[in-house]
Amino acid sequence: MMISAKNSTPNFLWGAATSSHQVEGYNDKNDWWAWEALGKIERGERSGPATDHWNRFRADLKLAADLGLNSYRFSVEWSRLEPQEGCWDAEAFDWYFELIQECEQLGLVPMLTLYHFTLPLWVAEQGGMSSERFPEWFVRFTRKVVERLGSRVSLWCTINEPMVVTVGSYLGKFMPPAVCEPEKARLACYHLLKSHVLAYDLIHRELPKSQSRWSEIPVQVGIAHNVIDFVPDRSWSLIERWLAEQIHQFYNMSWLDAVTGRGQRFSFPLLMAQAPVVAEAQGRVTADYLGINYYTRARVRFTPTLSGLPVDIGFGREGEQVSDVGWPVYPQGFQKLLSIAGKYQLPIYITENGIADHDDDLRPAYLRDHLREIVVARQSGVDVRGYYHWSLLDNFEWVKGFEPRFGLFKVDYTNFERTATRSARLYQEIIAQHRALGGLAQNLGDLEGFLEGLSTGA
């Protein structure tokens, strides 16, 4: 990585990501905390203190900086900042301001995510994303964050994985309120897109330029969009090929199309009618970058039944290399989906990529192989400008609880001690070598050979 002496602005962002509820601890005024209390998490776990990041953020950011990272993606917790409707917590805002200041001190460009899965309980109790008032609430929250924190932030992510939270909440039943109500999913798509567009316009209107250490980085607003490589379970099955394509269009493409003005197609045959059109998004680009979260591929199988949608989405199969949560390791799908995203002609940040791997056996190769796919994508013209590993720390992995280990740093939940994994040292070596090469190498063979030859040892 080369850094300009004039403005200390990195030309490629090496980062790691976290989210508020997963690391901070005691976010007890949101819908997930309430859902956990109902016993909805595997093994009956509760997030509780999480990783105690609230009290240890300075030490955690120092770990990131010591790896050579130059960026940190985090989310602000809406329920901390606005625990009751219209009531704002000044001390919580001060904490996030201190976190951002610490990022500046350590040379970490902050990427701030406004909404990462959790809602204030008062929002959830009034209908959450399906409420017609949701965009109003979200924009008011965004305005307050911009007023209090915005002068120090150039990179903004409005919504993390809008399709995941829609499907999980209103179709797949793995996120609160965990119902299967396609009409609410339809409304959520509409309200989330409207919220994003209104927030996008507000941030650009109120923040023409950051006043931070990285003032040369223009204010950029986007989304972090989860993509999965959907393939037919049986390649010879015409109906499974059709279903895989329909799911790809709905899950992968609808948000990319919507934020780039290419049409709003939030619908799925036999399940969800077309969502209303957000007038403010029609025919215009409302993203300055595309954030891509990629982990795995999934197989689509036709399973005819007398009731329900006749489709099953599966992940790992016998004999396949999978993560601790059963997701296949498939970097080829990353290349495929990066190529698709690249056709939108916007800068791309890899806002999440990682693997649940308790023993850190698969992660070194996973990291190396997925970075190689970024090299290939860049060589083909895809404008990838940064990579954020998920996650900086082991954390509370939603419905899976604490068992999955995604962190570059292992967390001992008895005393919150952090320990660097072999993968953390490998990531550190990659970044150091990248600097030594003078930034992203133009010769694909040289850089690919470098990645291939990296030691996976500590």
Structural domains of the chain, ranges and CATH numbers in brackets = 13-453 (3.20.20.80)
Does residue 148 or residue 208 have the better pLDDT? 148
| Percentage of the chain lying above the pLDDT 90 cut | 88
**Phi and psi angles of residue 55, each rounded to the nearest 5 degrees, phi first:** -95, -10
Q: Which residues contact 32 (CB under 8 A, 6 or more apart)?
A: 21, 47, 117, 118, 176, 398
Q: How far apart are CA 451 and CA 446, in angstroms?
A: 9
User: Tens digits of per-residue pLDDT, 10-69?
Assistant: 889 999 999 999 999 999 999 999 999 999 999 999 999 999 999 999 999 999 999 999
Taking residues 141-152, what's their average pLDDT? 97
Does residue 228 or residue 319 have the better pLDDT? 228
Q: How far apart are CA 281 and CA 200, in angstroms?
A: 10
Residue 270 class from Cβ within 10 Å (0-12 exposed, 13-18 middle, 19+ buried)? exposed
User: Tens digits of per-residue pLDDT, 66-82?
Assistant: 999 999 999 999 999 99
User: Tens digits of per-residue pLDDT, 276-335?
Assistant: 999 999 999 999 999 999 999 999 999 988 667 789 999 988 899 999 999 999 999 999
Please determine, for residue 440, whether its predicted confidence score (pLDDT) is greater than 70.
no
Taking residues 350-362, what's their average pLDDT? 98
Residue 339 class from Cβ within 10 Å (0-12 exposed, 13-18 middle, 19+ buried)? middle
Taking residues 377-381, what's their average pLDDT? 94
Q: How far apart are CA 318 and CA 340, in angstroms?
A: 29
Ramachandran quadrant class, 287 (left: phi over 0; alpha: psi -120 to 50; beta: rest) = beta
- Rounded to two decimals, what is the model's pTM? 0.95
Q: Which pLDDT score, from 0 to 100, does residue 441 have?
A: 45
pLDDT band at 113 (very low <50, low <70, confident <90, very high): very high
User: Tens digits of per-residue pLDDT, 229-248?
Assistant: 999 999 999 999 999 999 99
Q: Is residue 73 within 8 Å of residue 388, measured between CB atoms?
A: yes
Q: Which pLDDT score, from 0 to 100, does residue 265 have?
A: 95
Please determine, for residue 87, whether its predicted confidence score (pLDDT) is greater than 90.
yes
Please determine, for residue 450, whether its predicted confidence score (pLDDT) is greater than 70.
no
Please determine, for residue 452, whether its predicted confidence score (pLDDT) is greater than 90.
no
- pLDDT averaged over every residue in the chain: 93
Residue 419 three-state SS: strand
Please determine, for residue 417, whether its predicted confidence score (pLDDT) is greater than 70.
yes
Q: How far apart are CA 428 and CA 409, in angstroms?
A: 12
